[in-house]
Amino acid sequence: MEGAPRLLICAPTGEGRGLAAAAAAVAVAATPVDGQQSRTLLLDLRADARAPRGTVFAGAGARELEERCRASEALRGVARGRLCFAVPEPAAGLEAAEALGEALHGSLGVDLVVAVCDRAGFRTLLAAGIDHRPAVLVKATRGDDRPLIALLAAELREAGAPFKVWVPPIGAIGGRRALGGLEPGGESGRRAERLASVLVPGRAGSREPHRQPGRLRAERAQALPAILGIAILIVAVGLILAAIGGAATAKGRLQRGADLAAISAARSMRDDFSRLFVPAILPNGAPNPAHLSHTQYLDRARAVAVVAAERNDLGPELIDVDFPDSGSFAPLRVRVGIEAQIGLDGDTGAAAGAEASAVAKAEVTLAAGSGSGGAPKVASGGGYSGPLAYRQGKPMRPDVAAAFDRMAAAAQGAGVTLVINSAFRSDAEQQRLWNANPDPRWVAPPGTSLHRCGTELDLGTSSAYGWLAANASRFGFVQRYSWEAWHYGYTAGPAPCSAAGDRVAGAEADGGSGGGPGLPGFVPSRFRAPLLAAAARHDVSAALLAAQLMAESNFNPNAISPAGAQGIAQFMPATAAAYGLRDPFDPVAAIDAQGRLMGELLEQFGSVELALAAYNAGPGAVSACDCVPPYPETQAYVARILALLDGAGDLLGGPPALEVRLIA
């Protein structure tokens, strides 16, 4: 602020509208508000200039200049805002150049003189102020003579004088504010600041930068940092997603390990299942290597689960195996829980990291479609009530099936293929045949056909008749009737429809372990007679009833289930009353009622699976879907009994159709 005052000359082109406002705006911009007082004199040297009135608010510097103007008597000054507006004192009669000289060199002590002139006075003022290295601001309006301005610019540039042109209108409000010595604001304010920083450098620059809240300062060349920031953000988000994904993968692997361990254990149970029902002792008194105890069965399943966990990269110490139905005689469900720490690198282990756990349940269940569509495994409704073996889809007594296998193999060797057209037929099926063709020459009346005994086969094709006639007897088959070249009966085993025939499978499967006639080895001796009696009275397989008792109560006459089922056959009190069973804990009466109920259910549903399901879940649930209802308990019940029947006679067509599946 010390030293010679700076000079800015403001001149118009054209009519010079807005000149004073533009000059005032630049003068304001070049007048710092902070710190030391700054004295800017806006000297209006135009011919028609008149002093404005003072304002209430004026800076200290402006007030000081106003005082000094009064003292000088050469100028008339008025403080307005940050500026002191001055005109030559008419009484002094000064020329414009003299007035300027007074302002610059007099006793005013100004820092900056902004001299406003008209076109006529411009050259004179420029010459008068040339010692002060004047800067020049030209207020032009659109449509002014641009070549003229260009000429002036070139001339001033040569003289080394800063030169700027203000073209746009300053606006009514901005102009009024500027003429009041205040920042005009808005675009004009910014323009005034820019011009001031060029024309009067070192003045405007000391001021606080003009703030523009809410507006991105794009002109400040900040694209590169922004782009780098966005790129880093993308990579960071990617890394976070990768970390989340890694944790999800690790959690998924944990669940997968639990699933696979559970399904593997179920597989083991499904493979070992029938070995639970193999007699523990061989006929020669040695332990049966094929037999598995309940504990061995579960231990093997548990071991397989651990192996599966290990082979799927989970430590055996992380896995917890239990069997929800381990209380039953043949558990079919397994639950595997895994708890581990998941590290950020996605590895699983017991080391530090986030705690995670997974649980999987698997079960052995009846294969879909083996319910209503499945063929009965035990004959009923005919003269034979033992287990059935199937050859070419046709049911027959197991010893007949074995003999047929030998005969068919021999026939194959001779180039003859045997086809079974019919085998065991229940009385109901015979009735249907009879109804269709009630002629005793062709169809035996119901109850009289030997087909109800499971020993008779209707064989084909006609090209095989010759071979059969010559060779069937070698395998125990005889042609029953001379007029039926296809009908062969098996005579090497027990007589058709005899009690011995019913026992044939049981005797073979038991291997002489003392199970008794027609009954598997697990039946306690005191229940054999009641079972056989009930089976005979209600025409139900004794092996089936025995398997049920095993599954229901393990032959405990005093058993009570959590659901309230009572006694050896686990009758609910209401069912017991319906079947005239006064004391469900009386085993003989209970077994008879069970035989009666099963006989009715077999007749109603025509399939052992459905009858068993109805026994367990109630006939309503079964007839509603004509299937084994999808209750885990019922499914497991049916599967267990079918497996028990398998154990009772593995001449049946293989193990029951069981599958393993995840249930949770």
Q: Which residues bind other proteins (CB under 8 A)?
A: 218-224, 227-228, 230-231, 234-235, 237-238, 241-242, 245-246, 248-249, 252-253, 256, 259-260, 263-268, 271, 304, 307-308, 311-312, 659-662
Active-site position among 208, 552, 609, 659? 552
Q: Which residue, among 523, 566, 565, has the nearest Cα to 543 in the 3D structure?
A: 523
Nearest to other proteins of 125, 308 (CB atom): 308
Mark 482-491 as b/e (b = at least 16 C-beta within 10 Å): eeebbbbbbe
Minimum distance of other proteins from residue 256's CB (angstroms): 5
What is the SS3 assignment for 443? coil
What residues pair up with 173 in beta bridges, in sequence order? none
Nearest to other proteins of 314, 565 (CB atom): 314
Nearest to other proteins of 235, 578 (CB atom): 235
What tokens does 98 get? 């003299």
What is the SS3 assignment for 208? coil
- DSSP structure string for 265-300: HHHHHHHHGGGGGS-SB-TTSSBPTT---HHHHHHH
**Non-local CB neighbours of 9 within 8 Å, separated by 6+ positions:** 115, 117, 122, 125, 126, 129, 134, 135, 136, 137
DSSP-H helix ranges across 39-84: 60-72
Nearest to other proteins of 241, 409 (CB atom): 241
DSSP 8-state class, residue 379: -
Q: Which residue, among 545, 574, 569, has the nearest Cα to 556 in the 3D structure?
A: 569
The C-alpha torsion from 610 through 613 and 617 to 621, rounded to 10°, is -30
Mark 130-163 as b/e (b = at least 16 C-beta within 10 Å): eebebbbbbbbbeebeeeebeebbeebeeeebbb
Nearest to other proteins of 335, 503 (CB atom): 335
Q: Is the dihedral of CA 425, 431, 433, 438 positive or negative?
A: positive
**552 is known as an active-site residue:** yes
Minimum distance of other proteins from residue 292's CB (angstroms): 13
Q: Which residue, among 391, 395, 363, 361, has the nearest Cα to 378 in the 3D structure?
A: 395
Nearest to other proteins of 265, 593 (CB atom): 265
Minimum distance of other proteins from residue 153's CB (angstroms): 15
What tokens does 90 get? 């008419």
**Non-local CB neighbours of 606 within 8 Å, separated by 6+ positions:** 376, 428
Nearest to other proteins of 17, 256 (CB atom): 256
Give yes or no for a cis peptide into 124 (omega within 30° of 0). Answer: no
Q: Which residues are catalytic?
A: 552
